[in-house]
Amino acid sequence: MHTRRDFLYGLGASLGAVAFNAILQADERRQPLAARPGHHPARARACIFLFMEGGPSHIDTFDPKPELRRRHMTEFQRADRFASAMASGRRYYVQSPFRFARHGQSGQWLCEHFQHLARHADDLCVFKGCQVDSIDHPTACYQLNTGNRFGGDPALGAWTVYGLGTVNQNLPAFVVLPEGAYPQGGAANWSNGFLPAFYQGTPLRPAGSPLLDLTPPPGVTRAAQRANLDLLARLNQQDRERHPHQADLAARMASYELAFRMQAEVPSLLDLSRETTATRRRYGLDQRATESFGRRCLLARKLVESGVRFVQIFEGGWDSHDYLERAHTARIRAVDQPIAALLGDLKERGLLDSTLVVWAGEFGRSPDNGIRGGSHVVGRDHNARAMAVWLAGGGVRAGHTIGATDELGHEAVECVHHVRDLHVTLLHLLGLEDNRLTYFHEGRWKQLSQIGGRVIGELAANQRGPRINADER
């Protein structure tokens, strides 16, 4: 029997789309996380997203600006719609406190503190043309992670799992590895949004047991747990048959089953004490500065190797309004060795070609600052017009620099693309098409890009596009 909801749903889409969506929804009810082919062949089958929360300075990491040395401490007036309140009035250009050098056959520019990552310069595709809309941390984080500045929409990882499913039904398909504190905006950065709850990210705790209650209480056997779950499933199924459109109940049932299966697989997978001494040292687990991020990078490799589709690591502390030299030095050193270990480990295991690795923050930084506290206290403010993003593995154009910012690093000027195009490109590299990866919600079809976008062909190895490097002009 067709309900009023079914009738109204059909009015909002073409007959073919309705039929296709019905097939998808039927498949979701049976096996919502079953592995599915993408829309087109692609090298990347999984993604590890390294999110540097706080807005790392492109000028002090991958985009050197010699002109700032010539203009260092030059005063000027700045007032534009992208400037925050703290960026108005008297301003001073400030040079980078770091030295830069070219690395690899590709000649990639890297800050002096990326000593380990420099060995992988030819694996990187550095994109300098990305722009976003917000200079506020929560809204910018939401936009980078979900496409929507105001939160509430599915994250990139959720869309990926919705499109591709997972090849390991005993682990979450979308895993999040935060620091001790969540990033600004909290769990909405990895939400399923309006997608069914099957697709939300599962955060693992950075210390202690990765998941609470992972081990059954004393005296509770696997057989007893199985019998309890079977009884609960029968009761829930009766309610689900009366309310077939309520997907939350089905997701809750699936989460119980997943938790039961995880008790057998997760403890050994996440026990890094079983790793060799050489592996632990390689990721920096023997050093205080790199232990936390190194642990999460090693977990990311193990999770992807075990079939997890999307892993996202959050690392904060990049919001350097003051004392940029000290703060960015510490942040770079904390992530440099673990990232290099991750890339090298993936390559040696034959996984880099099938794993898309992404490094990005929510925005870039300005070429100037108000010099608060004296001329020796240098930092940078938020900048939505320019930022650095790099990609590796998964079919990207390794060893290329794509796009450029102006001579001061204030604004992207070549191969300029809104972040929605970056999202469309990441989906494309994973075998998904943004315009086909849609979900009917609140009377219309919705997608990650919000209003549509286009693939940045210059970033993909199988797409034709020029190498754009302003540093060689």
Q: What's at 441, amino acid-wise?
A: H
Say if residues 366 and 411 touch (Cβ distance below 8 Å). Answer: no
Cα(187)–Cα(145) distance, rounded to whole angstroms? 11
- The whole-angstrom separation of Cα 438 and Cα 163 is 9
Query: How far is the C-alpha of 258 from the C-alpha of 271, rounded, in Å?
Result: 19
Return the number of other C-beta atoms located less than 10 Å from residue 305's C-beta. 16
Handedness of CA 455, 461, 465, 468 (dihedral sign): positive
Instruction: Give Dmax over CA atoms of the chain in angstroms.
Output: 75
Q: Which two tokens stand for residue 169?
A: 């039904």
**pLDDT tens-digit profile of 376-387?**
677 899 999 999
pLDDT digits (tens, 9 = 90+) for 313-333: 999 999 999 899 999 999 999
Query: Is the distance from CB of 447 to CB of 195 less than 8 angstroms?
Result: no
DSSP 190-241: G--TTS-GGGS-EE--SSS-SSTT-SPPTT--HHHHHHHHHHHHHHHHHHHH
Tokens of 199: 């697709």
Where are the domains positioned within the chain?
A: 31-44+55-102+145-150+180-187+316-390+397-473, 210-288
DSSP 100-138: EEEETTTTEEEETT-TTGGGGGGGEEEE--EE-S--SHH
CA distance 8 to 438: 18
What does pTM read for this prediction? 0.84
Return the structure tokens found at 454.
């286009």
pLDDT along the chain (473 residues), means of 10: 43 40 49 92 98 98 97 78 52 92 98 98 98 97 97 97 93 93 95 95 76 59 61 68 68 58 65 92 97 96 96 97 94 98 98 98 90 67 97 98 97 98 98 97 96 97 51 36
- What is the rounded distance in angstroms from the CA atom of residue 216 to the CA atom of residue 202? 19
Residue 463 backbone zone (phi > 0: left; psi -120 to 50: alpha; other: beta):
beta
CA 16 to chain CA centroid, nearest Å? 33
Radius of gyration of the chain (CA): 23
Nearest-angstrom CA–CA distance, 278 and 283: 9
Task: Output the CA–CA distances (angstroms, integers) from residue 221 to 128, 133, 216, 263, in the order listed.
Answer: 55, 53, 8, 12
